[in-house]
A and B are shown apart, each in its own frame.
Chain A
Amino acid sequence: MLDGFSAETLARAQFAFTVSFHIIFPAFSIGLASFLAVLNALWLRTGDRSYLTLFDYWKKIFAVAFGMGVVSGIVMSYQFGTNWSVFSDRAGPVIGPLMAYEVLSAFFLEAGFLGIMLFGRERVGDGLHMFATAMVAFGTLMSATWILSVNSWMQTPAGFSIAANGQFVPEDWWAIIFNPSFPYRLVHMVLAAFLTTSLVVGAVGAWHLLRDRTDPEARRMFSMAMWMAAIVTPIQIFAGDAHGLNTLEHQPAKVMAMEGHYDSHPDGAPLILFGIPNTAERRIDYAIEVPKLSSLILKHDLNAPLAGLDSVPQDEQPPVAIVFYSFRVMVGLGFAMLALGVGSLWLRVRGRLYDAPWLHRAAILMGPTGFVAVLAGWITTEVGRQPYTVYGLLRTGDSLAPVAAPAVVTSLIAFILVYFCVFGAGTIYILRMMNKRPATPRLGLRDGPIRTAGITPAPQVERDFIPDQGASK
């Protein structure tokens, strides 16, 4: 089925596939790790058991998601070499050390303290357990910082020279790490991760509220999630806008594709709300547009001239249709999230946050949209920077490994089969756990070894249920 494609197309498909699957897990675990740290801190501070119950509930879901993130991440660390070896050879001296820092300062931290966070509360005591939980959360944020610096350098390279052998040679590490698009991308992505997590938590809370609106844990998590949605969404929209302006400065062709501006507009460009890109004729069909609004947003001036793709040589243009659509998906979902956040605030003020089934249904519907928005955003920025791996300097077609197309096809099919089976199963298990009430003693069928012939002693059943031990606390 994939016979007709070149090794380049196949390698790109493989990278897109593996990295798209991978980003789903960090997008969730970055936010969830911080949420867990907050829950644990609140439990230690207030002694309110519902926080501990929620911590133990989300901890198990985190463990499964994190495991999937680890294994799909190991794949990524080798994909550069197996499929993009020329890129690795040439850009390795710059981005390699950043990734080494990610491994050293983030991956080890997460992995080293994860065991203690999951298994060690009784062994190390509350204080050290809190420390371990905070380290896991800190590790996920460190990881995001380094890898976004790497990605941003590829988009807006800085602080390097080019050696005779074609290698990018680092000259100024400060300029490399804090390259022009890095701060914007980092803020945008970390907020996206927090928002994604809060939408998932909110959906799970809403699901349980629809069954029983008195469930104390469901109320608590729904309330926390809706605070996050209400506060973070407006900030995220603002951050996204700032990121867009930064992109306009450094990668104007990407913004032209996002906006669907095939033609230059010397006196004020319209904002195309929707339309169908016509690649052959190089125009947007059936465009619904607001005159001059694009110039207002991008240049803060109704009549500011905006260049279009006609000002960019053909072989330096990104594919327009994908970027155009994915950008609209992301922005559209962003405004839907804003509506959810505002709606929840309105009902909260009126004291009806837990008694509004339509809000709960909307929250459930919005549960997975964070992931969709994250993917759409990444597709926008990654397809939008084509045809380059290092923007303006190294073309994607020149980055490829000397691996024959049949080898790439075989591995691509293997990755597709394995990922759908393994991560499909994982998603089902996670949904199954989410379907249980937070106060359920066991989320899996079993959380520990079963004794002989299925006879599980009574205390074992209650092991990770939280019995009311009043006196012991």
Chain B
Amino acid sequence: MIFDLAFIWAGLIAFAVLTYVILDGFDLGIGILFPFGRSDQDRDLMMNSVAPVWDGNETWLVLGGGGLFAVFPLAYAIVMPALYMPITLMLLALVFRGVSFEYRWRVSNKRVWDAAFFGGSLIAALCQGIALGALVQGIRIEGRAYAGGWFDWLTPFSVLTGVAVVIGYALLGATWLVLKTEGRIQMQMRGYSWWLGAATLGLIGIVSLLTPFQDPIYLQRWFNMPGSLFSVLVPLIMLGLSWSFLRGLNDQKDLQPFLSALGFFVVSFVGIGISFYPMMVPPTLTIQQAAAPESSLAFALVGAAILLPIILAYTVYAYWVFRGKIDPSQGYH
């Protein structure tokens, strides 16, 4: 039976990670674009556009890690040592980035924390992309443990996926700012969005083409049911999203470019899901093997089923409260 608890949980973890990418992507993207802010005032505006929501966004990363620990402890126990360096670097980068939100306002010379915000966001995004690439390459397992070295993650392919994620997040950041700002800075970001959009689509294409070379099984999964259904749809959906993205930019729409860019990420993410299934950690650890005992899965699922809808509701509410354009005259708290 496919729809057992482990399968449901694999879906929920995937959902948490995707929600993280959607929410924290633009948030990290703003950090990546930070040096391009033309004045202190512009940078204040950029940062204030995510200040009320950033730690809610990063909580999804904790749910991704904590959730994996809870329901797929074996996968967690294998992936974390395998990705020791990129994960540790990402965490340190997030430390720098996270504290910058508050620290910037507490010093006269903001350069240091501006740089920390940029550097932290860039490295965190890069490491997330590298971790993704390393996972696609596959992780060597013996018994119940990681069996590779501490630099296995570093390959041209993983660096490529790292760069792709950085560019993609920058695109999300730019389109978010198109949505949240007006005037000069909005025009600037709209200009960036063209280039970043083209680069993102190009990189998604290259990564997709190279993925089967990491492991031929990926190709095979795309031509078996239900993957093959998706293989037909993916190019069409991507085309539609690209059209909507370009139209949105061209017609000076506020929301449409951002939503289309998010669409790029959602489709790519589902694509990775199809390539992986039924593996949890390619190439050998399946969802079933990695799953915790039934009693753990069932207990955790009760909580998730009750609490996730509530969380989504108040997350939407928090975004609703802070909707609309950022008012440049509005101070920090």
Contacts and interface: CB of A to CB of B under 8 A. Distances in A.
Interface of A: 59-60, 63-64, 66-68, 70-75, 77-78, 80-82, 85-86, 88-94, 96-105, 107-109, 111-116, 118-120, 123-124, 163, 165-167, 169-171, 173, 401-404, 406-407, 411, 414-415, 418-419, 422, 425-426, 429, 432-433, 444-452, 460, 463-464
Contacts of B223: none
B73 A88 contact: yes
Interface residues on chain B, size class? 35 or more
Contacts of A78: 65, 80, 87-88, 91
A105 B69 contact: no
Interface string B319-331: 0011000001111
B80 A401 contact: yes
B52 A67 contact: no
A103 B63 contact: yes
Given A89-B77, A105-B303, A112-B56, A447 B333 contact: yes
A119 B52 contact: yes
A411 B88 CA distance: 7
A78 B328 CA distance: 37
Contacts of A173: 295, 299
A32 to B, nearest CB: 14
A170 B85 CA distance: 32
A302 B62 CA distance: 51
Contact of A111 (B56, B101, B107, B330): B56
Interface in B279-333: 292-293, 295-296, 299-300, 303-304, 307-308, 311, 314-315, 318, 321-322, 328-333
Given A85-B76, A105-B307, A167-B292, 13 more contacts: A67-B99, A77-B62, A77-B65, A82-B80, A92-B70, A92-B77, A96-B69, A107-B62, A108-B59, A422-B99, A446-B332, A449-B329, A450-B41
B92 A418 contact: yes
B102 interface: yes
Contacts of A411: 84-85, 88
Contacts of B70: 92, 96-100
B241 to A, nearest CB: 29
Nearest to B290: A89
Contact of B296 (A96, A108, A109, A419): A96
B53 interface: yes
Interface residues of A, dominant DSSP:
helix
B76 A81 contact: yes
Contact of B330 (A71, A92, A102, A448): A448
Nearest to B331: A448
Interface in B60-114: 61-63, 65-67, 69-71, 73-74, 76-81, 84-85, 87-88, 91-92, 94-96, 98-99, 101-103, 105-108
A67 B55 contact: yes
B321 A101 contact: no
B95 A71 contact: yes
B233 interface: no
Contacts of A80: 69, 76, 80
B66 A85 contact: no
Nearest to B48: A449
**Which of B85, B99, B145 has the most A CB atoms < 10 Å from its CB?**
B99
21 contacts: A67-B101, A81-B77, A85-B146, A96-B292, A97-B70, A99-B70, A104-B63, A105-B303, A112-B311, A112-B314, A116-B52, A165-B144, A170-B293, A404-B150, A411-B84, A422-B99, A429-B103, A444-B106, A448-B331, A449-B45, A464-B331
B51 interface: yes
B77 A99 contact: no
A108 B56 contact: yes
Contact of A74 (B58, B150, B331): B58
A63 B51 CA distance: 11
Contact of B81 (A63, A72, A81, A445): A81
Contacts of B182: none
A11 B162 CA distance: 28
Given A124-B321, A411-B84, A447-B333, A112 B315 contact: yes
A93 B293 contact: yes
Given A64-B103, A414-B88, A447-B105, A71 B293 contact: no
**Which of B51, B88, B94 has the most A CB atoms < 10 Å from its CB?**
B88
B215 interface: no
Interface string B152-166: 000000000000000
A445 B91 contact: no
Contacts of A68: 99
